[in-house]
Amino acid sequence: MKISLQLKLGQQLTMTPQLQQAIRLLQLSTLDLQQEIHQALESNPMLEVDESQDADGSDASFDNDSSESNSQSDSGKDKSSNNSDDTGDSFAEQSSSDASYEASGDESHWEDSIPEQLTVDTNWDDIYQNSYTSGSPAPDNDEFESRDAASESLQDHLLWQLNLTTMSDTDRLIAMAIIDAVDANGQLSASLDSILEGLQEHLEIEEDEVLAVLHRIQHFDPVGVAARDLSECLLIQLNQVPETMVNDAIRNARTLVKDHLPLLGNRDYAQVMRLTRLKEPELRDAIAIIEKLDPRPGADIAPSSATYIVPDVFVTKDPRSGRWRVELNPETAPKLRINADYASLVKRSENSTDNNYLRDNLQEARWFLKSLQSRNETLLKVASRIVEHQQGFLEKGEEAMKPLVLHDIAEAVEMHESTISRVTTQKYMHTPRGIFELKYFFSSHVSTAGGGECSSTAIRALIKKLVVAENPRKPLSDSKITQLLEEQGINVARRTIAKYRESLSIPPSNERKRLV
């Protein structure tokens, strides 16, 4: 075997730590990004919050012609390296110009013109700043703390009432075992036999004793808690009505809940009226009373914690020009800059420990700020393209939503689809029609009779509109909805209609039937 030296020329993408940081910042949500910035400020002495500039002090907004050239200059390298992730190429290209990007504030790189065909106004106030700034003043420290306050659980609520109730020691132990078996909705999750079997290991008790304690707990607040099934839960609530106020409607409601609840759940009103010998007005009054009852009495005691959403992008319509304006939320991140005093201490020719520490932190600070800037640029470019494509939704609603996939936006901004996926995940847009995740504006398409395309989101909106306008006595079946959409030129299979209907939490036609 002969040993030889060979020279080869090739290309490869290297995932440097700086590139990994840029990609990671790109996919962070707003709250996660704030925490990341907070940690960077604490760990890197070269970074500081720029409190000298007002959040709205810079008004460098651009018109329709001001977003695409930057899209091309910042991401023109995205399509290289043998179909590799274009985000990496974009950030790698930015890293090559780090030496020329100094605190002197050279902004010639960002002053390219934008093609005129873009019909969306874009505000770059929060991106192109003098020095190393990004975003707005630092948020209060409270924003980095958890907003979820500790709430009382259903078990705590029941135990509190138990402590105020006079009971023997044995009954109290039985009550605690029953309360422990109550789920979050207030229903008993274990059978009486299993509870009795567990208690008999320590107590000499009979089933009647457990049943007596169960009945007492079922009248705790909320009434109907610890019920063994839905029928018992509703019947307990109906039995709470004082006898002086009981009328025929309440008696009929008790009969329906006790003996005919499955038929009532299936909307088989004809069979119910035949078995109970009730007239339609009497059945309607009884159903009205049942619908006011709470099938999950424990759910309101410890409601699920609210999730707060901070929009990353604001979309508004200029009343004078009629154009849609896209701008970053200035509250999503504090304005950062390099600490000039510490940066001046770095001596290029000295290799002492202190100087190396300052030099390393200065380089890390520069990369962090460039990663933040690149994140804002990419987010604004993608949001602008989405708004340009979905202006019909902003003006007319869901029925005007157009089909859109990641590839369409990726091609428009000259980036890879994986980059668009990162940008649109956990990023939110505030529009006049509400706050939506950027992924909401992407949907598949369905062919129309005229050869066009219709968005699946628009089809869902049409299904919801048809169901709202249907006759409650004769709800529209999935086949009928398919036929009505075909009359509008939209060809959708019945199983597709069923899938869309279920995604909207709309029950089937037999469960939507009502007595008018």
Tally the domains of the chain.
3
- Asked, for residue 302, whether it belongs to a domain, the answer is no
Task: Flag whether pLDDT at 430 surpasses 90.
Answer: yes
Handedness of CA 67, 69, 71, 74 (dihedral sign): negative
Residue 450 belongs to domain spanning: 444-512
The answer to whether 475 and 485 are in contact (CB under 8 A) is no
**245 and 313 assigned to the same domain:** no
How many angstroms separate the first and last alpha carbons of the chain? 93
Whole-number pLDDT of residue 208: 92
In the listed set 436, 469, 501, which residue is the last one of a domain according to the structure?
436
**41 and 105 assigned to the same domain:** yes
Task: Flag whether pLDDT at 128 surpasses 80.
Answer: no
- Asked, for residue 304, whether it belongs to a domain, the answer is no
Quick one: pLDDT band at residue 330, thresholds 50, 70, 90?
confident
**159 and 274 assigned to the same domain:** yes
**41 and 123 assigned to the same domain:** yes
Quick one: pLDDT band at residue 60, thresholds 50, 70, 90?
very low
**How does pLDDT run across 200-247, given as a tens digit for each residue?**
888 888 999 999 999 999 999 999 999 999 999 999 999 999 988 889
Quick one: pLDDT band at residue 74, thresholds 50, 70, 90?
very low
Angstrom distance (rounded) from CA 302 to CA 305: 9
Please indicate whether residue 467 or residue 333 has the higher confidence score (pLDDT).
Answer: 467
**195 and 285 assigned to the same domain:** yes
Quick one: pLDDT band at residue 114, thresholds 50, 70, 90?
very low
Element (H, E) at 121: strand 120-123
Angstrom distance (rounded) from CA 152 to CA 368: 42
In the listed set 417, 436, 455, which residue is the last one of a domain according to the structure?
436
- Asked, for residue 149, whether it belongs to a domain, the answer is no
Whole-number pLDDT of residue 13: 66
Q: Exposure of 236 by Cβ count < 10 A (0-12 exposed, 13-18 middle, 19+ buried)? A: buried
Angstrom distance (rounded) from CA 369 to CA 223: 58
Lowest mean pLDDT among 3-7, 26-30, 81-85: 81-85
**55 and 179 assigned to the same domain:** no
Whole-number pLDDT of residue 305: 66
**261 and 222 assigned to the same domain:** yes
Q: What is the DSSP string of 412-471?
A: HHT--HHHHHHHHTT-EEEETTEEEEGGGG-B-EEEBTTS-EEEHHHHHHHHHHHHHTSB
Cα dihedral 150, 155, 156, 158 in deg (nearest 10): 140
Element (H, E) at 41: helix 30-43
Output the domain CATH number for residue 452.
1.10.10.60
Whole-number pLDDT of residue 148: 44
Lowest mean pLDDT among 129-143, 268-282, 390-404: 129-143
- Asked, for residue 298, whether it belongs to a domain, the answer is no
In the listed set 388, 403, 436, which residue is the last one of a domain according to the structure?
436
Task: Flag whether pLDDT at 397 surpasses 70.
Answer: yes
**326 and 390 assigned to the same domain:** yes
Quick one: pLDDT band at residue 103, thresholds 50, 70, 90?
very low
**How does pLDDT run across 439-457, given as a tens digit for each residue?**
999 988 776 766 677 888 8
Whole-number pLDDT of residue 26: 86
Nearest to 424 by CA among 396, 460, 385: 385
- Asked, for residue 7, whether it belongs to a domain, the answer is no
Structure tokens belonging to residue 513: 């039937």
